[in-house]
Structure 1
Amino acid sequence: MDAIQVRTEDELQRLALNGLLEETHWLDLKRELGSGNAANKDLAKDIAAFALDGGTILIGVDEDTSPPGLWPVPVDGLAERIEQIARMRVDEAVQIRTTVINSTSDPTLGYVVVHVPQSVRAPHMVDGRYYGRGDKTNRMLPNAEVVRLLDRRLADRSDLRADARAIRTDLVGDDQRLLVLVADPVGAREDMLVALSESSTWQETVLQLVHSATDAQNQTYAPTLAQASGFARRPGGVALTTGMYDGQRFSGNDHAAEIVFTESGRLVLASERAVTTRSFQNVFPAQPDVTVIFEALIVGHISMLARLAAAVSHQWGYTGSWRFALSMNGLTDSVSWTLADQHFGDRGPIYTENIYERATEASLDDLDDDPGQVAADLTAPLLRSLGSYPAWAKRLQRQS
């Protein structure tokens, strides 16, 4: 059952009569939500269990009758209580989406549909124990399965890094420098953004989304998508571009960047100039050219992509989590742009590896509350290696 589509009591009644309200691995029916700590704990277990694969809890339906009978419950404050349980009784917190359906016979009564999206941070705990979902009931996860799931999370990160690396090498090979960022909606429908690709006004929509995700910091470096005005179709998606002239995509001139909206929902941002050559022509005594890592561009692109992922989620009704990956090359013998900006004195450590890659994940709540944390997760190790982290710590620190 797609909880998003259930909006009225009549629809619920039809689902019940047609045999479509049956408890499964992805659906749990509750006649009511009792009061007190025990009921709160039981619901927290349900939410933690469903977060492993995603699912729906429907409150106000009696599962013990055949077919399940509608049992409207008092709805005042119920959705808020459920959301508080998801945030405060589950470790770590799970983002849910609730829909209240009022009864036609009494507007104070009704039903609550609780959609629990698949979580990239699963498994989740309640009172120190991890939970998952069986065929129709919750189950406590044994230690071996918890370890396997945590290992899978690390493998998923590695897989997304490999995807970012493959996209980078497909675009420019290994000899040309390029930054590639990937944002992947976990468990989203494969056709999540088909409607965007099919729309006759996709250019306007893409431009509005990107502009809504940019801030003043995105105007402080180039190339920046804050000023992008080019449009193109890409395999499996559409793109907003900047600095691509005469049909050339990435010419190696440090001018080009693009964001691709794929039909599956994946967002791919590629940019030149994350690593570049900097000259100090007006400095005396003369300074040699230096290869620098352009932190402002890297942090700016990541922060914008995180905000863009949130904007896409809200526009297309996706409440799940996102995975992010960064792959960039050409870093060998480079130093920090931030420290080189001082012109004199120590420019900090020389970076000795060619490739830098990192991956992380974030819930929609994370992206709404603190999109900068994605940039912190993806860049902090690099900035510490360059010695420039203190200059960026305030911008990257987690918001309280």
Structure 2
Amino acid sequence: MKHYLGPGRPLTTLDTWDGVTAAAEGGLLEENQWCELKEQLGPRGKGPNTELAKDLSSLSVHGGVLIFGVRDKTYEVVGCDTDGMRDRISQVAATKASPPLVPIISDVIEGPEGRNLLVVSVPPSPLAPHMVDERYYGRSADGKRVLADPEVRTLILARDQRTHGFVERLGALAQNDPIDQMVEGSPTGHGHAFFLAEPCSPVPSEPIERDGLVSILVNLENGRRGGTLLLRGCTYAGNDPDGVGLRTGYDKVRQEYEHREARISVHEDFTVTAASGGATRVFEDRSGNSQLVALTGTMVQFSAQFLEALREISTTRGYQGQWQVGVHLTQLRGATATEDIFSGRPPQFPRESSTHHLVIQPTAWEGPQTEIEEATVKLLAKYMRGLGRDGWSYNQLLQRA
């Protein structure tokens, strides 16, 4: 993982003793708003733990790196005793900061004579500012400091505006539906799904290029065990004026293939949008009557691919922060799950659309596939609840076409 150490400084890998030493000798570790150095953590106790919580909280406003084992005045890499530090830092972040923080603690970097290094990344928090001992903390070029009341109010107001604006932007994606441009005879009455992901702070990286996005999509693990390609099939240029866009093909497809169509875009500000034609589909039952069916398996697969792609984008661009992620599904009223069509009185979705959003931190996922599956179920919770699928596991839902 590459780390952002401040404006004008390159994204830097800090996963070896030599790498940290080279960064220090190159002047990249000079303490500033994004970088804090500690020769050691200090003894257990209220005082050192409180100072650690203040450091973590201060870095959470804009994101940053806390490095143990480097002297803060001379930038000399000396190492320290790292036994028990990972657990202690996690506990302090969870109990001393309010709201709790979830820093990314790298593996210990082994050094000479048992003196090691530990790099702790603190992603920008969508819940910032965070409080320690009844005070809010932020940073300046000189290190951590107590935030003044006007600064706190500004940060909280910006946080609220991001949340409300996100829901509006998510719902607006359906007004310019890209799937309609990819299917003959549109609009067909089939339901589509629209996904939006916005980083909770600026991504310190160059915009992604088309080939880089194609490489991420074709190598997605989710969806390899059969089924339609969905996002994995997005290899054709989508000509998005706001960034890089990809789609599943150039030519329009017949309505019966609408559920396979997909599109994804990564904008210059790293907003990620995606659309799928597979939320609902009209089938004819044995009597020739039309029935609107929810393609739950397609939606689960597509959602998992979207979250996996988001994690890969975060990793390749060096962004360790959180994302606000949401899904908006249309044409749902009266839809029933496929296997319920012939059950007599199947549950039918009671609303025209469904919208749900959550905050995730993909680079902090220690078991990526498990956490992708858990996040997928959470993201589609309202959709599944409206179909009588509340409490179903990822695998149960994935098996339903």
Common topology (TM > 0.5): yes
Give 1:46's aligned residue.
55
Which residue type is aligned with residue 53 of structure 1?
H
Deviation at 1:34, TM superposition (A): 0.3
Q: Which digits, 9 at most, give the CA deviation of each residue in 1:24-43, with x for residues without a partner?
A: 44333434320213323421
Determine the C-alpha separation between the residues in 2 that align with 1:224 and 1:96.
Answer: 31
Give 1:137's aligned residue.
144
Give 1:55's aligned residue.
64
CA RMSD of aligned residues (A): 3.9
Determine the C-alpha separation between the residues in 1 that align with 2:37 and 2:318.
Answer: 23
Would the alpha carbon gap of residues 234 and 249 (structure 1) be closer, same or farther in structure 2, given more than 3 Å must change?
farther
Deviation at 1:263, TM superposition (A): 4.6
Deviation at 1:352, TM superposition (A): 3.3
Is 2:44 aligned against 1:33? no
Which residue type is aligned with residue 62 of structure 2?
D
Would the alpha carbon gap of residues 203 and 302 (structure 1) be closer, same or farther in structure 2, given more than 3 Å must change?
closer
Determine the C-alpha separation between the residues in 2 that align with 1:252 and 1:33.
Answer: 62
Q: How does 1:20-99 map to 2 (within 5 A)?
A: 21-22=30-31, 24-38=32-46, 39-63=48-72, 68=74, 70=76, 72-77=78-83, 80-81=86-87, 84-85=90-91, 88-89=94-95, 90=97, 92-98=100-106
Q: Is the 8 A contact 2:64 2:121 kept in 1?
A: yes
Which residue type is aligned with residue 295 of structure 2?
F
Which residue type is aligned with residue 352 of structure 1?
R
Is 2:177 aligned against 1:171? yes
Give 2:350's aligned residue.
351
Which SS does the other structure have where 1:168 is aligned? Answer: helix
Determine the C-alpha separation between the residues in 2 that align with 1:10 and 1:379.
Answer: 46
Give 1:307's aligned residue.
308
Determine the C-alpha separation between the residues in 1 that align with 2:64 and 2:204.
Answer: 18
Determine the C-alpha separation between the residues in 2 that align with 1:50 and 1:279.
Answer: 57
Is 2:197 aligned against 1:183? yes
Which SS does the other structure have where 2:12 is aligned? Answer: helix
Q: Which digits, 9 at most, give the CA deviation of each residue in 1:59-94, with x for residues without a partner?
A: 34555x5xx453623254476356534665455341
Deviation at 1:231, TM superposition (A): 2.1
Would the alpha carbon gap of residues 93 and 372 (structure 1) be closer, same or farther in structure 2, given more than 3 Å must change?
farther
Q: How does 1:228-377 map to 2 (within 5 A)?
A: 228=233, 230-235=235-240, 236-242=242-248, 244-246=249-251, 248=252, 254=258, 255-280=260-285, 283=286, 286=287, 288-331=289-332, 333-338=333-338, 341-353=340-352, 355-364=353-362, 365-366=364-365, 368=368, 369-377=370-378
Q: TM-score normalized by structure 2?
A: 0.74
Which SS does the other structure have where 1:273 is aligned? Answer: coil
Q: Is the 8 A contact 1:349 1:386 kept in 2?
A: yes
Which SS does the other structure have where 2:237 is aligned? Answer: strand
Which residue type is aligned with residue 189 of structure 1?
V
Determine the C-alpha separation between the residues in 2 that align with 1:94 and 1:357.
Answer: 27
Would the alpha carbon gap of residues 134 and 10 (structure 1) be closer, same or farther in structure 2, given more than 3 Å must change?
closer
Q: Is the 8 A contact 1:275 1:294 kept in 2?
A: yes
Q: Is the 8 A contact 1:28 1:57 kept in 2?
A: yes
Would the alpha carbon gap of residues 319 and 202 (structure 1) be closer, same or farther in structure 2, given more than 3 Å must change?
closer
Would the alpha carbon gap of residues 229 and 111 (structure 1) be closer, same or farther in structure 2, given more than 3 Å must change?
closer
Identity of aligned residues (%): 20
Give 1:12's aligned residue.
24
Determine the C-alpha separation between the residues in 1 that align with 2:75 and 2:229.
Answer: 59
Which residue type is aligned with residue 343 of structure 2?
F
Which SS does the other structure have where 2:40 is aligned? Answer: coil
Determine the C-alpha separation between the residues in 1 that align with 2:107 and 2:12.
Answer: 8
Give 1:160's aligned residue.
166
Q: How does 1:104-123 map to 2 (within 5 A)?
A: 106=112, 108-109=114-115, 111-123=117-129
Which SS does the other structure have where 2:177 is aligned? Answer: helix
Which residue type is aligned with residue 337 of structure 1?
A
Q: TM-score normalized by structure 1?
A: 0.74
Would the alpha carbon gap of residues 314 and 69 (structure 1) be closer, same or farther in structure 2, given more than 3 Å must change?
closer
Deviation at 1:223, TM superposition (A): 6.9
Would the alpha carbon gap of residues 75 and 308 (structure 1) be closer, same or farther in structure 2, given more than 3 Å must change?
farther
Which SS does the other structure have where 2:236 is aligned? Answer: strand
Mean Cα displacement is larger for which, 315-324 or 259-268? 259-268
Count residues in correspondence.
367
Deviation at 1:138, TM superposition (A): 4.2
Give 2:183's aligned residue.
none
Which SS does the other structure have where 1:302 is aligned? Answer: helix
Which residue type is aligned with residue 59 of structure 2?
F
